[in-house]
Each structure stands twice: as C-alpha cells, then as structure tokens.
Structure 1
Amino acid sequence: MTHDHDLVLRPTPAQIEAALNPPPGRTGGDLVVETLSGLGATTVFGLPGQHALGTFDALRRSPLRYVGLRAENNAGFAADAYGRITGEAAPLLLSTGPGALLSLAALQEAAAASAPVVAIASQVPAAGLGGGRRGYLHELRDQQASFRDVVKSVHTARTPSQIPSAIAAAWESALTAPHGPVWVEIPQDVLTAETTLPVVTAMDATPEDVVPRPELTAVAAHLLAHAERPVIVAGGGVVRSDASGKLRALAERIDAPVVTTFGGKGAFPWKHPLSLQSWLEDRHTTDFLEDADVLLVVGSGLGELSSNYHTFAPRGRVIQIEADAGKLESNHPALGIHADARLALQAILETVGERTDPTAPERVAAVLGRVRDRIDAQDLGLEQRVVAAVREALPARAPSFWDMTILAYWAWSAFDARHPNTMHSAQGAGGLGYAFPAALGAAVADPSRPVLAVSGDGGAMYSLAELATARQYGLDVTWLIVDDGGYGILREYMTDAYGEATGTELTRPDFVALAESFGVPGVLTTPDTLTADLAKSLATPGPSVVVLPALLRMFEPTHL
C-alpha cells in the first residue's frame, strides 16, 4: 500500500542549504517568475504597468523570455496562439484596471477556442481589495467580476506565500481539458514586498485526464458498427487533443464520411475519399448530415457555425464526445460522452467492429460535386483564385491565422489546411484584430517555419501597432491584408438585410508605405501575382506585408 507521505520527495542536502539561504533582494514578483519557470514556462507575453512593476522587475533575474506587445488585447491574442501551437500554457502578464480590461476580447477568444492562457494581473494594494473605494489609480470595485464569466477559473494571492499555489492551481486549470484561459490577481504591495521564502523549484500541476466512461464508449462502438449511414463531425477538440490519427483510423474502420468544422480544420485529410471537407454553410452538406442514422460528433458543441446557423436537425442517433461538460447535448439530444477526444476515440477503436461500405466514397463525391456546382454557378472565380493562390504559396506545415474577413469566411469552407493545428481563426468568439498578433505568438512558439496572417483592411487597423513588435523581435510573419475599402463582410450583411450599408466605409492608410515606416518590407500585389508575392515574402526571413486590393464576395447562404 502506498501512503501519501511516501510520495513526498526528500530534499537533498544541497537543496536544504539553498532553501535556508535564499538570494537577497527577492520580492513577490520573483515568486511569480520562479513559479512559472518551475511549471515549465519558457516565454511570457504582456505589457508592464504601474501596479505590475514588481513582476516585470523580477523578469530581469529570470530565464523567462519576455515578448512585449503594444496593446493588451494583442498580447492576449499572441499568448492564445502560443498556447494553440505548443499545447502548453501561455503566461500573460498584465497590469490593473484599463490594462487588464483591454485583454478581455482576447481572453474571450481563448475561452471559445480552448486555448490555455494563464493571465496574471496586478491589483491595487491589498488594503483596497473587497469593494471599498480608496481612490487608487486603475481601481475597480471588483476586477475579478469582469473576468469571471470569461475565464475558466479565478485565483487570488493576497500574501507572498500564496503566490506559488495560486499560479499552480491556475496552470492546472488552464491545461485540464477543455483547455482555456484562467485569471490570477496579485496586489501591487504583495508583488513588491521583499520575501525570504525559498526560491520556488519544480512545481507539479499535472492536469487530470478527462477519461470516458467505458459503458458509454461500448454503446457508441456498437451503434457505429451497426449503422447503415454513419457520419462523423470532427471539431476543434480533435485538433487540440492530437486525435487526428485516431479519427482517421476510426473513419476507415467503419467507412464513415467525415466533415470537419471550421475549428477542426486539418483534423482529417482534405482529399481523403471519405472527406466531406468543411462545407458546413451548404445545404447539401447539412442534408447529408441529417440523413445519417448515426452521427458521431467529436470535439464540437454543434454551435451556430457548425450547425449551419442552427438549421441542422438530425434525424438519426447522435453520439457526442466533448471535454466541456456544459456543451454536452446543449443543442441536440445525444449519447453524451464527457471525455477528451483522443481518449474517447481510442476507447471506441478498441471495441468497434469493422464495417464495410463501398458506396461511402461515391456518396461523398456526389455531395462535393453538388457543392462545386452551386459555387460555380455564382460567378465567384476571383474568390476561388485568391483562396487557391494563398494555398499554393503557403508551405504545407506553415501555420496560418485568419481574422474575421471575407477571405477567412471562404477559407473556413474552401481552404485545405493539409495538417492538424495549422489553420486558426477568430471564429470562436468572432472578434476583429486577431490574425496578426496571433501570428506573432505562433512565430515565437515555433521560429522554424514562416507564419501567415490574413486580415481585411478593417481588421488590420486593430493591429497596426504590432508591426513594431514584429520588427523588434524579427518575427517571421507575413501579413496579407485584403483591402476592400471597409468592413466588407458587414457591408454585405447590411446590404442584404437592409438594402444599403451604414458605417462600413473606411479611410485607410497606404499599408505598404506604413509597413515600410516600421522597417517592415511591403508589396502591393494583384490576384495574378499573389502566389509569387506571397511565396517570396514567406521565404524571406523576418516580417513582411502583402497588400491585395480586391472586392471579394461571399457565396450565397444555403441554410434556408
């Protein structure tokens, strides 16, 4: 029998000596950066602020790499992308009040996309906590209240000795499936107070696996093996749990067609005979999914976009595998399996019988043919050429980050991501300004390959300041800006709904000249030269900007 005290590691004499004689001059801020290092962090994102100076001063004495952006929401987007690319928690260091609040949009995107971000913010001095109004700069009555509905968990350290445990608990929460952002607050005087506590060493914050119940996976395996028309919907959870190999093995074992959601791009090979690709905003795909007698939904809540704007009405049995218990059966009755996608797919693979259906590839090809015919009938050659040009220029394993722009809406349906975890967009929460700062975070996470960011001119205006960040750190990001003179997708929505648009036309800078003023090379391209210009920029180390003046249109909606 193992007792708890048997698991406690005995310190060595050298460790005891170090603990008894910590270096002088350390503060609560040192406990923050030591804890992050002990948890395995190597990089932190953020911006300094008056109340957070104790933490930022401690960075000087830390091996952590600091990447500073020019606005807190952009720092949050960069941390989000770092978490998506590495699968590790990304620390985000913030100040109090306005600086903290500016990160909310980024944390909402991280929550919607299940990106593990550990936001560590300062607070007013401890005497000001609890709702009193003492007149501190940046003071909020209850700063946590602004974040509690967005993040997975909230943690507070009111004394230096509480700092390591608070950050470790937040770290574990961020990395427990489903991943997500968490919030830690530490008062200014706690961060600046000198401490004689020992240096924080390795911390254990290993998350618990979300394991499926075996009786549920046994029923799922039986239903799939005996289905007449099984279909699989693969969501972002398949990508995040690194389950694409198991997904393919299951699909091939039971000859089940697979459609990937916009968040699940790359989870299944685009040109596989069983691939329905990602045409979720198409009634032909919706009809095919509704006709399935058993529909396996893995890592998706079947939300608005994945359900063709809630017009999808399944007629067969639904099996839903989801790590977020709150999303189980939230939109459709199902055999709900609360589990990590990889573990659940593995359990089903261990028991599912083989099923053969030689007609499945033919039925898939027929649906894709009808989708192609519908698109081809709408005079959208320019849009398809631009999507194809981006795909041709982008190396197969290079990650891409897409803002909420018409080209991204096309890419959700029509872009071949080629590999899992290579295509990311802001469709989780739908905010503007995501692509470029997120791409910077990805370049920090993996400098071995170039990164592409795609924005419209409206979304680009949110992130122009980060050209300075790209230049300062020499990050290998190519930023494609599609300039259509305003908020193009809103222009379409309003014109369709009301006959004309309001507030969508924008005055823009000369993006090429602006980029060059930051010391970032820029080029003005055309649809005909886009592939060559993008490929050249992606092949050239360091940041670059490619501007494409083009008025793109969306394909007609088919959810009615």
Structure 2
Amino acid sequence: MSHDHDDRPGLNAAQAEAALNPPPGRVGGDLVTETLQGLGAATVFGVSGRPAPGLSAALRRSALAYVELGAENNAAFAADAYGRITGEVAVLLLTAGPGALAALPALQEAAAASAPVLAVCAQVPAAGLGGRRHGYPRELRDQQASFREVVKSVHPVRTASQIPSAIAAAWESALTAPHGPVWVEIPEDVLRAETLLPPVSALDATPRELYPRPELTLVAADLLARAARPAIIAGGGVVRADATGKLRALAERIAAPVATTYGGKGAFPWKHPLSLRSWPGDPCVTELLEAADVLLVVGSGLGALSSGGHTFAPRGRIVQIEADAGKLEANHPALGIHSDAREALDALLDAVDAREDPAAADRVRTALETAPAPAADQERGPAADQGSGPDARVLAAVRAALPDTAPSFWDLTPLTTLAWSAFDARRPNTTHSAQGAGGPGYALPSATGAAFADPTTPVLAVTGEDDAPHTAAELTTARRYGLPVTWLLVDGDGPGASGVQDGGPAAVRPDLVALAESLGVPALRSTPASLATDLKTALHAPGPSVIVLRAG
C-alpha cells in the first residue's frame, strides 16, 4: 500500500541546519516560545515582571510581544478580549499556585463566552508531581483539578519533548468549535533546563470542522419551511462563528423574527424589519417567541441569563443548533443539532424552502411598540425628553459618541443591564460584558486586551465608580503602552451607578480624576448633558483617558 506524504510539513535549508546543530543556551522555555511562534502567535499576556520560570529569557530571544498587566486575573481578561476581537488564540502565561488560581475567574468568563485563550502555566518541579515530594513554593497538590471543570481541555507536560505537541494540541482545541480556554501545564524545572532538542518548526494545529448531520438538517429545514409562525433566537455562538450574514439570509428566507441574547448582541441588525432586538426583555417579545410553532435557537444554550431566569416557556417545536454538545437540550427538549453555527446555517440555507409571511414584520412592530421607553431613546439621541429616565439618556449619549466599529466592555452596573436590552451594538463582536463569572473588574483589563488586538480603533470600558479600585492599577498599563482606551466611570450616586447597599457603610472612593492625572492620563468630570461631547472627544484623542460621570 502506498501513502501520499506530500502534505507533510518539510524543512527549509536554515531549519535543517538548526535541527542538526541546535543553537546553544536554549531551555525548555524556548520550546514554548518557538512553538507559539510556529503556530502563529504574535502577542502573549502575563503579569509585569513575573512570567513563568524559564520564560523570561526565552521571551527576549523570541519575536513575541509580551504584554504585562498588573495582576493575573487582569491579564487573563485581556487575553480573553484579544481572543474575542481577533478570533485567534490568545496566549496567557501564568506562574504556579496562587498566580494560576488568581486567573481562574477570568478563565471561567472566557469559557462562558467561548473565547480561545491558551493558558501556559508553570507547575512545581517534576519530582513533586503526584505527591512524590512536597514542600515546593506555590505548590498545589493537584493544580489541574482547579481548572479541569472550567477550561475546555487540559494538556499536562512532563518532559521537554512533550512541549510542542501539548501546545499544538491545546491550540487546536481552543479553535475547534466551540472555542474556549485551554490549559497547558509544564514543570518549572522542565522550563528552566537546557535542551539540545532542535528548534521547533513545521507545526500543524488546524482546528477540526464541526458539521451538522445531514438528516437533522433535512428535518430542521422541513420544519421551518412548513411553520406558520417561525422565530429565531440567536446567541453568542453566531457571533463567535462569524455567521451573522448567514443568520440574516436565513431569517429573510423564511420570514422569521429574530431576537438576540445578551451575548449575541449585534448578531442581527437592530433596525431590520424582522429584528426583535435584544431579549429577554419586554413581555410581548417573549410571548411572540413562546408562541412560535417552530423556534430556531442558534448558538445559545438558553441558560438563566438568556431565558429570564429559566422562566421562558416556548410552546412549539424547538430546533437547537449548538457547538457545545453539553448544552444541547440542556434546558428545553429540542431537535438538537451539534454543529458550528456557521456550518449549520449554511446547510440550512441550502436545504430550506422559502416561505412568505407579509405579517411577520407587523408582528415584530407590534411587539416592539410595547417596549420600555429606554429602548426607544437611542432613536431620539442624547437629547431625549426628561420622562425617559437618566440611565436611558446616558446610554443614548454613549451610543451617539461611540464609533460603530469601536468595541465596548461593560462591568456589571444598572447601566449595563439596561444596555443588554436597549443598546444597539450596530456591529457584531463589539459589545461585551461579564456574563459567566460576573463580578467587578472585567471592563478595563478587557478593553486593554482589545486595544492590543486593534490599536487603531478606540475602545470603551464602562465601570461603576465604587468598583473602579478593583482595576484602577491597569491605567498604568494603558498609559505605558499608549493604548486608545477610554474608561467611563459612572458615579456611585448618579445615573448608571450601583449605589450603596441599604443600611451599609458608604463606599470610600478615591479621587479617580486626580489618580488618572497623577499617571499622566487625561481625565475630567462629566454630566449627562455633556457626556456625548466629552466622550466623543476622549474616544478620538490618542492614548488613554478617564471620564467620571456625575449626576448633573
């Protein structure tokens, strides 16, 4: 039997010479950086002054850009955002023990958002693995166990020769639908030890395609074509799969109203005649979706945040397209199709017959007419009437100032929860918030990572003033690298703020304008009336800036 080996990667003359005569002074850490470069990485994230042992010198010898943040969790948030914006693997370098554990909440967020983050973490020396020897600094008896239920896959390394294969396998896993964070763990002594292994070259980590089963596509297409009142819910999986164009084509083919989950914002045009905008929200929109005789759910597991706390009760047949097999039919019985959203929508477009329904747009319009006032305020702009409420006017000012292509990152505040339902993302993959792990401190480091992904586009971070101290240190990162990040802080007693718990002590707030100015970052205090102008000026200025929004 003959075999065709023409597709095997080969070596050029320089690579062959290096393989036969490896450069001196290389260590296990060089195998890490060489593998990452071979796979296409250009930027890696970590903590200032503390990359994993054995990697400092290797990074200096490589062409990789090492981005230093102030804390592990912030570095992981930055990597998450970099992965979301680019769609490429974002590399995160961590030290063993406490450093690794500090990044755990951000990796949980990356898992919830299907962001492709590759965490390369040090581990205690190989002699201490498996409980054979104890007492090493930063020792966790089973470090992998802390991450195994959070990340998509775990890839332990025990010898230098295993490094390239482990990282390549992790890279492939991170980019195979559903995207997600992955974990590579390498003992410190392996990273530090000199190696005579040849430089890494000719790597292949092509992600596997996830196609729908044809018989399921046929059944789904038949159900949608014969439906009297089909509807679609689009989640973050549509955005991650770059399938927004195919979603629109299918919705128009079958005249189906489309609602997007909070994670799917931007997956469908806000002002399209079939757009139900962001959901869950208005009861009339919910009723329209629940009354659909065939409901197509694409790229969403309809979890608690995407179903009104599991109160959503659809009465018709559900077709669910989901790349994460564990989410198929997890919350509702359905015709479950395990597939990448792009591939499944493409297959449906080939299989489904067009249907006419002139009344579909009328049903959408009727449902939206009952929407709360804030949803309409964006249409009227930042000068909306006083009856619309202060948060709505602030949100309208943000929309007026923010360029359509500029990404924004939101910490959890009442302004953010309003934005989930009432903010027109205008473009897919531009509006992001912490929905998996929650908690404060997401917005600013994430905006930092996005700025590294595209330093030509301004980035907005929105944080409650009381939560700002969690990540204020990252202003130094934005300042050091000259990043176009504008940090909007909503006043603790003003619009969009989280406020103070009843009966609790008042928060102690630093003067964030003075803090920013002490770092050489332009800062000012704004009001709802001047916010649109102030924010537009800041977003179009070079480098970072801070705006503190006061009540009036």
TM-score range for the pair, normalised by the shorter chain length: over 0.9
Match of 2:454 in 1: 446
Q: CA deviation at 1:148?
A: 0.9
The whole-number CA distance in structure 2 between the counterparts of 1:304 and 1:486 is 29
Deviation at 1:485, TM superposition (A): 4.8
- The 5 A counterparts of 1:40-189 are 40-47=40-47, 52-132=52-132, 134-189=134-189
Counterpart for residue 539 of structure 1: 540
Residue number in structure 2 paired with 1:348:
348
| 2:529 aligned with 1:528 | yes
For 2:442, which of 422, 425, 434 is the aligned residue? 434
Q: 1:390 — aligned with what?
A: 398
Within 5 A, what are the aligned runs for 1:81-480? 81-132=81-132, 134-372=134-372, 380-480=388-488
Distance in 1 (CA, whole Å) between partners of 2:267 and 2:54 is 43
Q: How far apart, in 1, do the equivalents of 2:494 and 2:150 lie?
A: 30
User: Normalised by the size of structure 1, how large is the TM-score?
Assistant: 0.93
How many Å apart are 1:431 and its aligned residue? 2.6
Q: Residue 402 of structure 1 contacts residue 408 of structure 1 at CA under 8 Å; is this kept in 2?
A: yes
In the other structure, the counterpart of 1:519 is 520
Asked if structure 1 preserves the Cα contact closer than 8 Å seen for 2:394 and 2:495, the reply is: no
For the residues of structure 2 that align with 1:465 and 1:82, how far apart are their CA atoms?
19
Name the aligned partner's letter for residue 113 of structure 1: A
Write the distance in 2 (CA, Å) between the matches of 1:309 and 1:106.
23
Aligned residues: 544
**In structure 1, what is the Cα distance between the partners aligned to 2:344 and 2:313?**
25
Match for 2:507: what amino acid? L
Please state how far the C-alpha of 1:49 moved relative to its aligned partner.
Answer: 7.1
Q: CA–CA distance in 1 between the matches of 2:436 and 2:151?
A: 14
Shifted more, 22-31 versus 51-60: the winner is 51-60
Q: In 1, Cα distance between the equivalents of 2:239 and 2:375?
A: 28
Q: Distance in 2 between matches of 1:446 and 1:267?
A: 21
Which shifted more, 294-303 or 134-143? 134-143
Question: Structure 2 length normalisation: TM-score?
Answer: 0.95
Cα separation, 1, equivalents of 2:494 and 2:402? 26
Give the corresponding residue for 2:381. Answer: none
AA aligned opposite 1:40: G
Letter in 1 for 2:432: H
Q: What is the alpha-carbon distance in structure 1 between the residues aligned to residue 36 and residue 437 of structure 2?
A: 28
Tell me the distance in 1 between the aligned counterparts of 2:350 and 2:172.
29
Query: What SS does the aligned partner of 1:44 have?
Result: strand
Residue aligned with 1:180, SS = coil
Secondary structure of the residue aligned to 1:344 is helix
| Post-superposition offset of 1:128 | 1.1
Contact 1:51/1:124 (<8 A) preserved? no
* RMSD of Structure 2 on Structure 1 (CA): 2.1
The answer to whether the 8 Å contact 1:51/1:123 transfers is no
Provide closer, same or farther for how the CA distance between residues 31 and 375 of structure 1 changes in structure 2, counting only shifts above 3 A: closer
Hey, what's the Cα distance between the residues in 2 that align with 1:119 and 1:133? 25
| Distance in 2 separating the partners of 1:105 and 1:8 | 40
Residues 186 and 226 of structure 1, relative CA distance in 2, 3 Å threshold: same
Q: Distance in 2 between matches of 1:10 and 1:538?
A: 47
Distance (whole Å) between structure 2 residues aligned to residue 346 and residue 317 of structure 1: 21
Query: d(CA) in 1 for partners of 2:415 and 2:162?
Result: 47
- Check whether the contact 2:235–2:299 (CA below 8 A) recurs between aligned residues: yes
CA contact (8 A) 2:9 2:203 kept: no
SS in 2 for 1:284: helix
Residue in structure 1 matched with residue 380 of structure 2 by the alignment: none
| Deviation sequence 1:451-476 (CA, Å, 0-9, x none) | 01111113322111100100111111
Q: 1:517 to 1:2 in 2, by over 3 A?
A: farther
8 Å Cα contact 1:439-1:451 kept in structure 2: yes
For residues 424-445 of structure 1, the C-alpha deviation after alignment (integer angstroms, 9 at most, x for no partner) is 1112332321111000000000
Q: 1:448 to 1:12 in 2, by over 3 A?
A: closer
Measured after TM superposition, the shift of residue 19 of structure 1 is 0.7
CA distance in 2, matches of 1:488, 1:416: 17
Matched, 1:510 2:518: no
User: What's the % identity of the aligned pairs?
Assistant: 68
Please give the alpha-carbon distance, in whole angstroms, between the structure 2 residues aligned to 1:10 and 1:170.
22
Q: Which amino acid aligns with 1:388?
A: A
SS at match of 1:392: helix
Structure 1 unaligned spans of 5+: 495-499, 552-560
Q: Structure 1 residues 359, 487: closer, same or farther in 2, change over 3 A?
A: closer
Other structure's SS at 1:520 match: coil
Q: Which moved more, 1:61-70 or 1:363-372?
A: 363-372
Contact 1:234 1:267 in 2 (8 A): yes
Letter in 2 for 1:441: G
Q: How far has the Cα of 1:147 moved from its partner?
A: 0.8
Per-residue deviation, residues 301-324 of structure 1 (Å, max 9, x unmatched):
001121111111110000000000
* 1:11 counterpart residue number: 11
Closer, same or farther: CA 336–550 of 1 in aligned 2, 3 Å:
farther
Matched position secondary structure for 1:130: helix
Distance 1:389 1:374, change over 3 A: closer
CA distance in 2, matches of 1:459, 1:4: 60
CA contact (8 A) 2:375 2:423 kept: no
- Note the alpha carbon deviations across 1:491-510, whole angstroms, 9 max, x for none: 69x7xxxxx4546x411111
Matched residue SS, 2:25: coil
Deviation at 1:53, TM superposition (A): 2.8
- Report the more deviating stretch, 542-551 or 189-198: 542-551
